[in-house]
Amino acid sequence: MTIFQRIIDREIPADIVYEDDLSLAFRDINGQAPTHILIIPKQAIPSLAESTDEDTPLLGHLLMVARKVAVQLQLTNGYRTVINSGRDGGQSVNHLHVHLLGGRPLGWPPG
Ligand code: AMP
């Protein structure tokens, strides 16, 4: 079981900013920008690499939640969405999640 499953199960606290039947969004504990939100599916998919064609609606849903949370948190100057996958992608929690970053200009390319 991952730490994100424990957040879904309310076993450990999180600063939740959005929730619906399919997903949960909360503040990253080690924010890399003034606003840094993680959007996760309640259904535990380990990574984007391990998702399947059947997950297409759920993956789309996560991006729509990112858009709604960006509006809710007033990221009017723009924002970035990131999905790290696997070791080289820098994924550290094996429960698929979308990072939503904003509140400052973000550099490109990422490291
Ligand atoms: P990644 O490296 O893409 O797998 O992202 C995992 C993210 O989860 C990191 O940015 C961590 O700071 C964040 N994180 C880990 N544990 C927690 C937690 N308990 N609550 C909120 N964010 C967390």
Nearest CA to ligand 1 atom 15: 29
Give just the sign of the alpha carbon dihedral 110, 71, 56, 6. Answer: positive
Backbone angles phi, psi at 56, to 5 degrees: -50, -50
Band the pLDDT of 111: cuts 50, 70, 90: confident
Distance CA 93, CA 3 (A): 8
89: Cβ below 6 Å to ligand 1? no
Give just the sign of the alpha carbon dihedral 12, 93, 97, 54. Answer: negative
Q: What percent of the chain has pLDDT over 70?
A: 100
Could you tell me the residue ranges of all domains in the chain?
3-102
Q: Which two tokens mark 24?
A: 């949960």
Nearest CA to ligand 1 atom 18: 29
Instruction: List the catalytic residues.
Output: 97
> Residue 29: pLDDT above 90?
yes
CATH of domain 3-102: 3.30.428.10
Distance CA 2, CA 73 (A): 27
**Rg for the chain, CA atoms, rounded:** 13
